[in-house]
Amino acid sequence: MTTAEIKSAARAMWAAGDYHRFATETVWGLGPRLVEATGITAGQHVLDVACGTGNVAIRAAEAGARVIASDLTPEHFKAGREEARQHRVQLDWVEADAENLPFTDGQFDVVTSSLGAIFAPDHQRVADELLRVCRPGGTIGMLNSTAEGLAGDFFGTLAPYMPPPPPGALPPLQWGSEDHVRNLFGDRAATLEMTRDTYVERAASPRDYVELFTQTFGPAVAIRSALADEPLRAAAFDRDCLEFATRADTGDPTGPAEYRYEYLLVIARRRET
């Protein structure tokens, strides 16, 4: 596949389903966490990369920043604009590839990405771009899923049913390794702080959790669609998903199902020179 075909396929995958519903029912609480950790304040110019429907970007705008929300999948922007309207904030929405951001060098005081830019296949290019568009002395903040946490099991469940990754693509969860992040940013970061933490996703039951991500989460929706003419594999996929959701549930047996995901919070300060 050509690069253009790879990007088009990625866009189609993430446009499948109902990402905004998925995000608001699972990861929406992480937006304020990253805004607080990066110290975003009024008057700053902020870029959120792989923004989805505005989880971080809208919260940055609420803090008074001038915000650009960028994503490879502009199909997310309609829901993002409506969410921003409900939050009574304004921000710009720009279609952009995390590996080739259409912004000038040093344009932003803060550059963020929450569980988004990690899915671009070329990690070094992403790191280079985040650093390039951040001003000297500015801040880069990321929330990255870890392979050791539940995300490793989740994506491991999906992997046998997904098409092979592009040649040379690195696993998204590698962004959750401290050593990998250090290597990507190198000495271009004056300081690099990394902290592991967790957040919890909830559903009424394991079966409800499976229904949520197979109906709304782009990669899972795309798998379901691709298996439409393969009933045996489709049944195996559904069975594997339910087995994952059942074994991973750490909630009280009398309450909702709970899924505790680990992430790596990365705060990098770009060198002044």
Residue 213: inside a domain: no
pLDDT of 159 above 90: yes
Residue 222 class from Cβ within 10 Å (0-12 exposed, 13-18 middle, 19+ buried)?
buried
Residue 210: inside a domain: no
- Mean pLDDT over residues 251-266, rounded? 96
Asked if residues 92 and 68 have their Cβ atoms less than 8 Å apart, the reply is yes
Residue 253: inside a domain: no
Residue 78: inside a domain: yes
- Mean pLDDT over residues 69-97, rounded? 98
Q: What pLDDT does 94 receive?
A: 98
Asked if residues 158 and 220 have their Cβ atoms less than 8 Å apart, the reply is yes
pLDDT of 17 above 90: yes
Interval 43-75: pLDDT, tens: 999 999 999 999 999 999 999 999 999 999 999
- Mean pLDDT over residues 250-269, rounded? 96
Question: What is the number of structural domains in the chain?
Answer: 1
Domain assignment of residue 173, given as a range? 3-202+260-270
- Amino acid 80 reads G
Question: Phi and psi of 114, rounded to 5°?
Answer: -115, 110
- Mean pLDDT over residues 120-145, rounded? 98
Residue 34: inside a domain: yes
Interval 166-218: pLDDT, tens: 889 999 999 999 999 999 999 999 999 999 999 999 999 999 999 999 999 99
Mean of per-residue pLDDT scores for the chain: 97
Which whole-number Å values give the CA distances from 97 to 69, 112, 114, 145, in the listed order?
12, 14, 15, 20
Q: What pLDDT does 1 receive?
A: 78
Q: What pLDDT does 260 receive?
A: 98
pLDDT of 40 above 90: yes
Residue 201 class from Cβ within 10 Å (0-12 exposed, 13-18 middle, 19+ buried)?
buried
- Give the whole-angstrom CA distance, residue 271 versus residue 243: 47
Residue 242: inside a domain: no
- CATH code for the domain in which residue 16 is found: 3.40.50.150
Nearest residue to 143 (alpha-carbon basis) of 175, 97, 185? 175
Residue 75: inside a domain: yes
Residue 166: inside a domain: yes
